Structures are given as C-alpha cells and as structure tokens.
Chains A and B, each alone.
Chain A
Amino acid sequence: MSELVLSTKNLSKRFPVGRSGSFVNAVNGVDLSIKRGEVLGMVGESGSGKSTIGRTILRLTDPSDGEITFDGQDITTLPTKLIRPMRKDMQMVFQDPWSALNPRMKIGDLIAEPLRIHFNMSRSECNDRTEVLAERVRLSADFLNRTPSALSGGQLQRVCIARAIATNPKLIVLDEPTSSLDLSVRAGILELLQELRAETQAAFLFISHDLGTIKLISDRIAVLYLGRVVEEVPKDKLFSDPSHPYTQSLLSAHLPSDPNETLQRLTLQGEIPSPINLPTGCSFHTRCPVAINSCQSNVPEADEISPGHLVSCLRLKDGQNIIRRDLK
C-alpha cells in the first residue's frame, strides 16, 4: 500500500447558476495530499469551498477539472459502478447527525448497514461486529434497538463515526463533525476522534471553521480562501509563523478562551467576495492590507518557505507579507 492515500492536482469545481451561463467557482485549483495516519485540517470561512472539496474527493460530486488520486489509482473519471465498491475505503462523517441518519432505522441496523453493503456479512456476524463498534465509540449497547430520535446529538454523531469506521477505511472525511454539537459533548467527540486516528491509521481530512478544534486534531492545516489553498502549514507553525496575510487575519479573529492571551487585533474590512465573480489575480487582494498593484493581475504560486510550509502570496518575495499588528 502506498503511503500517500489521497492526492489532488488542480482540483476545481464550478456550479452553474440557473441558466444565466455564469458559474459559482467553489473550488479553484486545489493541490492536496494526505498520507496514511495523517490528519489534514482544512479551515476557511463559509463559502471558501471546504465542504465542496470534501465531497469532490469522495466523488459525491464530480470535479469540473483536475485530478484525484486515491490509493494510487486515478479516480477522477471512474464510473460510479466502480467507485461504489471503493467507498468502503473512503468514508465521510457529516456535520448534522440528525439528517445524516435514517430516522426510521434502528441504531444497530444503521451501524450494520455499511457492513452488509460492503462485506456481505451474515446477520450474526453483523450483530457481533456492531456491538464491538458501538463499544468502540462508547455508545451503550442499550441504544442499538432504539431509533435516532431517542439519542442526543453527541450520541448520534458517535453512531455516524461508528458507521464511518465500520469498514476500516483508508480515508475518512469529517465535515465539521463537532460544529452542530454543544460545548459539553464536543470535547468527548474530539477525544474519541483522537483515539481513533491513532488506532485505525486511517487518513483524516478534518474540515472545520474553528481554529481551536483544527489545531487540536490536525498534523497539517490547509487554509482556504475562495476555493484556493492560500497556505499549507504544519500544525506547530500555524500559530507561531502564519505567513499568508489571510491566515494572519483569521488567527487574529480567533478568540482563545483564556482571558490572559492578548488579542492581536487585525480586523479585516468587508466580507468574502462573491465566488461568482472571482477577483482577478490573488483572490484576497480586495481585503488584503498589504496588497500592491501586481496582486490584482497575478495569481500567486505556492512557495515552500520551510519543509511542508507552502504559502501563496506575491509579497513573500519582498518580505512584506506580514501585516503589522497593534497589540490590544
């Protein structure tokens, strides 16, 4: 088995807007790679294309452009018939567990569903495995005969995670798995995910808009803005050495729960531009405090400034990519 579980090259996704002939440019040329046992965090504001990337690499939607390589095989144009059996190696956990589970099915059947589909297991084998899985995600076996309505959000998310790990996948995409959950259950789910990543050696793509959560669970972090990766950075460098102006402003807007931490105020003006009419050149130039004229016309290339730390900013060359901050 190759070490690289997933890689994308120039991945793009456009959605047509009605019959107007214009497109929503959700993802614009994204290069990503995830190794076995690695957690890649993906962070960005709403509309930055996080979820679309997650869905596209699993071929839940088809890419408009680019290549997806999964486990050494190009799956970009693979027909659905051939993708389906591969799905046992790629699983997804969705944001909203209430709508991800069939309300009429019992919890035990929901967890057994992937086993029946992919492994053709007998009923008794299924039952045994389901109990093991439920115990693994710390879900009481009493729930297996209940329907989703009897469970709380955190418990339902545990069911979703049990379903995702049931087939021992090589890649799990987690699309904001904790953002619909209450503070108190969020911590429990994050702890469970950390245990599972060590245990299963699966690659995780962890999508979130919360920097605290991302930092806790990821090894590397990709920062997205308008469907482009503006910075890819090892976890320990995210807070110490953010090099793209957007990453810096995103970090400054993050509110740590420790009142002793000083905030580095760097409030961006305006809001994220429409993905229908993308800004020319660097997509961030409309809000960037250090933008110069050439940012409006040139699309920046990713530069590797240290091992594993890639930044796409034109101002890296003259060293003006760091925004001066005022300490509050």
Chain B
Amino acid sequence: MNLLSVQDLQTHFIFRDIDHQLREAKALNKVNLTLNSGQVLGIVGETGAGKSLTAQSICGLLRPPAKIVGGSVTFQGRELLTLPEDEINTIRGAEIAMVVQNPRSSLDPLTQIGAQLVRLHQTHTGGPLAGSRKKALDMMQAVGIPDPEGRFTAWPHELSGGMAQRVLIAMALINEPKLLIADEPTTGLDVTVQAQILDLLNELVARFDMGCMIITHDLGIVAHYCDQVAVMFAGEIVEQGPTREVFLTPAHPYTQQLLAATPERLQLGVKSQLGGQPPDLFNLPTGCLSQDRCTLATEKCGAPPPLIEISKGHLARCHFVKPAEKGRSKSNE
C-alpha cells in the first residue's frame, strides 16, 4: 500500500468578481501522485504551476475561495478529503507535517522556540511536560541546533534563517510524522546552509522511515536529493518517474524544455525554447494544456492527452510519448 496516493485531485478558486459574475480559476487539474515510506519525491514546476496548492490541498489547509472539486487523497489507506475537520486536526501536525518556505514568519514571534516545540508535542502526543521537554531537546539536537539547552529559551528573532529553518524542521518532526511535506525548504537560504538542511532532511527520512515531498523550482535539488520527481505545468502533473530516468530521458516536451533551460545546458550551446505564458486558468484550452507553448503541437493535441506509462513507474501525459515496449501502453483516461 502506498503511504500517500493522490488521484485526479482538482482544486479550483471559485469566487464572484466585482460584477458579481461567478468566476472559476482551475488551479489544479487532475493531479496524480503516489509516495511510499522512505522515499523522497520532488515536485518541480514554474511559478503558478500549482506546486504549493497541491501540498495545501493534501493537508486540508485550503480556505475559500479555494475549493477541492474532485479527486481523492488517500493517506495510509484513509480518505482525507471527506474526513471531518476535527479528525484532520489529529492527523495534520502529527502524522503529516509540513515545513514551509519562510521560516521566520512561520514561528510565533512572542513565544520562545522551546515552548513552541513543547506545545506542539503536548497538542498531539500529550504526556507529562517533562517528557515533551526532553523530546523537544532531542529533536533540536537531531536537526543540528548547537547548544539545544541554551537555544531552548531563545526567541525566534534571535535565530538566523538557517537556524529558524532547523527549528521548523524540528517542529515538523517532533510528533514523528509518516509524511513530511517541505515547501521550498531552502529558498532564501545560502547555498552552504542549503546543503546542510538538505543533507539533514535526507538523513531524517532514512532514520524515521518517512515519506517526504520536496516542493522546489531548483532542478539541482531534485537531481541530487529526490528518488522520484513529478513535473507540474498549469495544475497538472505532466510527467512523473524515477529522478534519473526523467532527467536523462525526459519524455514530455515540457520536461525537455525545462531541463534545457538550466545554465549547465545553456553552457553547452543548447538553445532554450522555454517561453511564453502559462495558459489562462479561467479559460483553459481543451486538450493538452501545454499546446500553446509546445513545439510538437498538432491538431491531435486538441484532445486530452492520455497518461502513458513509458517504463515501470515513469509516466507522461502527452500524445507523442511512446511506451518503451510495445503492448505495455496503459491509458488512465
């Protein structure tokens, strides 16, 4: 059984505009993902592709006008989307934890960091206060905060960006979650600190046998820290598979363009073909969503592209993708 399985997840923003017209922005369109314990999945895509929204939809953190209009999210065999709020609350923060992008604004500025860790442990695990305190100190140690006893009474403003991110990871891990979602965990940190944080995440995933989802736009992070990668475009996962396979033999034209836009490839004289605007979410084209930006696009692309399994676990949503062996083509449409 997969730890997390997302099927055809659709999240739309539904609101009335200034003229009281009902408007609907189709931000997530059929997101399919699977994640197993001990695995690190990277989600990449441009701004507005729906990476963070996917994470928020899984965690049930959406507020109106965002609304999940279809699909299912199964975590350890339980359907999350239909759970009542109080049951979600017992899972979120305990079994599913999240590390968000901006560590400083995610910490309560008026509470010492030790107290924030203890509070989180008390809320979900409970037990004697002394036990929570010990757990908090252990966690601070585990994420590499020097002098945990001394830092226990530190205020968030006294921490550097890297330290604040470590505190946030400690908070995420204190209840020993099964699934960790890290939304741009190192954006805004320096490269030498980024390496520390990513090494730490990788080590903790192995130690606690968690599933981990890293949302990023940095292809370098995915190439070296993720086992699996999912490429998002316009609220859709256009390609998913083992990282090495996707990076070395990208199947979807968009993935190919994305990989060709890295400085390393440009160095080799590859011309970047990536450009243009993503489609209008209010008025999505029928058929393939990337047809306006795709160099291969033909009339055929006016029909929705099938999800094709190229090899085991490597899927792409495109009319032009061929399965590696004949007779193994599989369409989920």
Contact = CB atoms under 8 A, between A and B. Distances in A.
Asked if A and B are interacting partners, one says yes
Interface residues of B, number: 42
Contacts of A187: 260-262, 266, 272, 274
B191 A215 contact: no
B21 to A, nearest CB: 22
Interface string A264-279: 0101100110000000
B160 interface: yes
A188 B247 CA distance: 21
Given A183-B46, A183-B261, A259-B248, A253 B275 contact: no
A132 interface: no
A257 interface: yes
A45 B274 contact: no
A302 B267 CA distance: 30
Given A182-B47, A259-B243, A260-B248, A272 B190 contact: yes
Interface stretch (B10-18, B57-65, B129-137, B214-222): B214-222
A259 B226 CA distance: 10
Interface stretch (A32-40, A51-59, A206-214, A308-316): A206-214
Given A187-B274, A267-B196, A255 B223 contact: yes
A216 B262 CA distance: 10
Interface residues of A, number: 36
Interface string B189-216: 0111111100100000000000000000
A200 interface: no
A250 B221 CA distance: 15
B172 to A, nearest CB: 21
B267 A253 contact: no
Interface string B240-260: 000110011000000001111
Contacts, number: 108
B275 A250 contact: no
Contact of A45 (B46, B191, B257, B264): B191
Interface string B216-236: 011111111100000000000
Q: Which of B224, B225, B244, B267 has the most CB of A within 10 A?
A: B224
Contacts of B257: 184
A249 B191 CA distance: 10
B192 A212 contact: no
B263 interface: yes
A263 interface: yes
B192 A45 contact: yes
Contact of B224 (A45, A209, A259): A259
Contacts of B262: 183, 187, 212, 257
B298 interface: no
Q: Counting chain B CB atoms within 10 Å of each CB, which of A152, A186, A188, A258 scores highest?
A: A258
A252 B224 CA distance: 12
Contacts of A258: 223, 247, 264
A231 B262 CA distance: 25
A211 B195 CA distance: 14
Contacts of B247: 257-259
Contacts of A100: none
B191 A184 contact: no
B192 A209 contact: no
A217 to B, nearest CB: 9
Give me the 5 closest cross-chain CB pairs, A-B, nearest first: A255-B220, A212-B263, A187-B272, A187-B261, A45-B190
10 contacts: A45-B191, A187-B274, A190-B266, A212-B262, A212-B263, A212-B264, A216-B266, A252-B195, A255-B221, A257-B247
Given A183-B46, A211-B191, A255-B220, 5 more contacts: A182-B46, A184-B257, A191-B271, A259-B248, A268-B196
